Structure 1
Amino acid sequence: MENDIKMFYDLMAEKTADEWYSEDILKPTINDFISLLPPNPHVLDLGCGPGHESMRLDQAGAKVTGIDFSEKCINIARQRCPQCKFDVKDFRILDEAYGKFEGVFACASLIHISPTELGEVLRNIKKVLVDGGYVAIVIVEGEGINGKYSILEVEGRKLNRAFYQYTLNYLLKEAEKADLEYVHEGYLDEKLKKDGWRNYLFKSG
């Protein structure tokens, strides 16, 4: 399953970049997030894909490091958004190698983290946040695996990219264990909210 997720993003990297570098639907979400942080904050784009939202974080005034385990995505990110720093990295084993950040932007990345791994990933996010730093978690509200988004066919290959949904209550429970304090629901375009997407903001305690 893990290999399917990586293969999906490798195969879709160019198409994703072509679509999302010109799509501004998350720009207000990013501006809302950056408004919580100090001027010129260091922000980690967690699961950055080909760097489209890293670009917008940079445009909003952040100093951005993007990480993703898809080499194809990172290669495209480096080409299209050279002003940001990008590395191939599995964020499940996140550490302080890049220093600490005022913000972590986790947009549609924790959807691939299983309930058994989520707590550890949140604890690792906490480790790389400065005291009082913020994390934006953009997920689909719900429970269990979303079959509609999980099993997809790309270039004739049927891939299982394991798309997990989480309720706010579940996130609150896991975040509390990681010493992350819930702040409020952040801005998200109504089109995305109608599809079940939510933007939850947490603060490092």
Structure 2
Amino acid sequence: MRTTTVGDVTILLPDLDPDDLDSTTEPGADLTDAHVDDVSWRGAVLDAVRVRGSRITGSGLSESSWEGGTVFGCEIVRSDFSGAALSGLSIERSVLTGSRFTGARLTDVRLKDVLFDGCRFDYATFSRVAASGAVAFVDCILTDATWSSCRLPKVVLRSCQLARLELESSQLHGADLRGNSLRGLKTTLANLYGVILTEEQLPDLTHLAVGEFHIEVRAQ
């Protein structure tokens, strides 16, 4: 069993053998033990597609629509989901590396044992995204993104760019935000209830509090 640890969270990883994967270029209702490499599915409509034990590399799914379905035990590498609409999708025991989700819309997505490593989520919208297991974002770009009504307890963010990330009515209790700058985060303090920070981040938290409470700071 392959695992990785980010902060205090241990994530189960997919265990793929390249020799067991069959190359394919066509999306279907079920992709099992498949290798999808450098394929363009731009604008594709993926209705309840199930992907299991597969590897997707260098492929384009921008402006695609993926409703329902599951991603289990998969590796997704350097693939483009810009402007995609992902709805009702379940992602479990998977690693997404160097992939682009710029302007993507994730709605009612369920995450469990998922690692996002070096991915772009700038201008992406997370709506009612929920984690039921370990989830981590490492070296990800989340600038100008929006998380609305999300439930991501104990999620780990490491070395991510969070400028102008907007949090609305989200639950992040136990989320580990150490190693990120909070300056420019667009949120009320209620969305940060119970998160984990370092002492070095307290000035950023103070800055958020001063803005939220409209405190006027003057020279003595």
Tell me which protein shows more strand as a share of its residues.
2
TM-score, normalisation: structure 1: 0.29
Q: In terms of Rg, which structure is larger?
A: 2
Higher relative CO (Cα under 8 Å, sequence separation at least 6) belongs to 1
